[in-house]
Amino acid sequence: MLKEKGVQPVSFGVVRAENEADWRQIFEFAQAIGMKNITSEPEEKDIPLLSELCDEYKINLAIHNHPEPSHYWHPDVILKVIEGQSKRIGACADIGHWVRSGLDPVKCLKKLEGNIIQLHMKDLNKKGIKEAHDVHWGKGVSNVDAVLEELKRQRFQGLFSVEYEHNWENNVPDVIQSVNYFRKKVRELK
């Protein structure tokens, strides 16, 4: 159906698996439909296996950060677990969840430089509060402009996922406004 519609999926997740057979099934699925990335919050014990699978299937694994107390909430944890592993394992930097955890997204991006595979972009109305909600990009506390400037400095070539979880039942106009803001800012950064 995706081929019929001319859609090429490039990433999916956030997924987890319980054992090697289940992980292989996820990688086989991703390979079969031509995906480049799998987003996951794997158990730390699975990282060596995932490193091997990433190289075997030639698919990246982007470790996602949910807010504190999630295991991967802080960039230091991600850096520790990917050390010595395949270059195909890196971060799925969720800007909003860093803000919910009270972290500065620009400092987090700098810390992860060279290890960011993709981003979940959002702008939030409050910092350090788990219940914070999405607002149009550029209107919140996530410092979207500085995030984009930092990604340009890093020559980031990965994937941006637009996330707008507030107003879930009717968020398409909100997503459009955020995407338009993104496009305008990217043009200004050239």
Each residue's pLDDT tens digit, 67-94: 999 999 999 999 999 999 999 999 999 9
Q: Phi and psi of 96, rounded to 5°?
A: -65, -40
pLDDT at 78: 98
Strands 89-94 and 60-64, sheet pairing: parallel
Q: Which fold has domain 2-189?
A: TIM Barrel (3.20.20)
How confident is residue 37, by pLDDT bands cut at 50, 70 and 90?
very high
- 20-32 helix and 47-57 helix, angle to the nearest 10 degrees: 30
* pLDDT single digits (tens) 158-167: 999 988 899 8
Q: Where are the domains of the chain?
A: 2-189
Specify burial of residue 72 (Cβ count, 10 A radius: 0-12, 13-18, 19+): buried
Average pLDDT for 18-39: 96
Average pLDDT for 5-24: 94
Residues near 150 by beta carbon (within 8 Å), at least 6 away in sequence: 106, 109, 110
Distance CA(22)–CA(38), nearest Å, equals 14
pLDDT at 1: 87
